[in-house]
Amino acid sequence: MAKRTIEPLLWTLFSAGGVIAALFIPIQLLLFGVVFPLGLAEAPSRERMLGLIGHPLTRLYLFVMCTMALLHAAHRFRFTLYDGLQIKHLNELINLFCYGGAIVLSIWTLVLLWHIP
């Protein structure tokens, strides 16, 4: 019997996360990373941001977007290290770093979004 692996699940998460990252990240980064810092438009006030983040739908969106993007990035970065640098002998360490990092940051996301004042 073929050995069952977690690989298909990881590839599915990679694809789903890739779509979410492609659709939603560029505009958010454009606004918060470039447009607001350069003063091309005014950043939302803290009250407005708190209201937005406090909404259950926004929180659900932020949680799904962040965790899926992290899992996508972890999977792809793992193969970047495999193929780009050809450090195949460090498999376990790379997996721990990539997926471990994604899981730790996902937990932080959950903790941050769990309670909004």
Partner 1 sequence: MNETPIYTEYHPRWYRRRVSTYWWLERSSYLLFILRELSSAFIAWFVVFTLLGIRAVKLGPDSYQAYLNWAASPFLIIVNLVTLFFVVLHAATWFNLAPKAMVVHWRGRKVPGEWIAYANYGAWAVASLVIALILLI
Using CB under 8 A, list all residues that contact partner 1: 15, 18-19, 21-34, 36-39, 41, 43-44, 46, 49-50, 52-53, 62, 66, 69-70, 72-77, 79-80, 83-86, 101-102, 105, 108-109, 112-113, 116-117
Q: Among candidates 19, 32, 17, which has minimal Cα distance to 74?
A: 17
C-beta of 92: minimal distance to partner 1 in Å?
A: 19
Give the max Cα distance, the chain. Answer: 61
Cβ-based nearer residue to partner 1, 10 or 52: 52
Cβ-based nearer residue to partner 1, 2 or 42: 42
Which residues, other chains included, contact 43 with Cβ-Cβ below 8 Å and sequence gap of 6+? 32, 36
Is the distance from CB of 52 to CB of 44 less than 8 angstroms?
Answer: yes
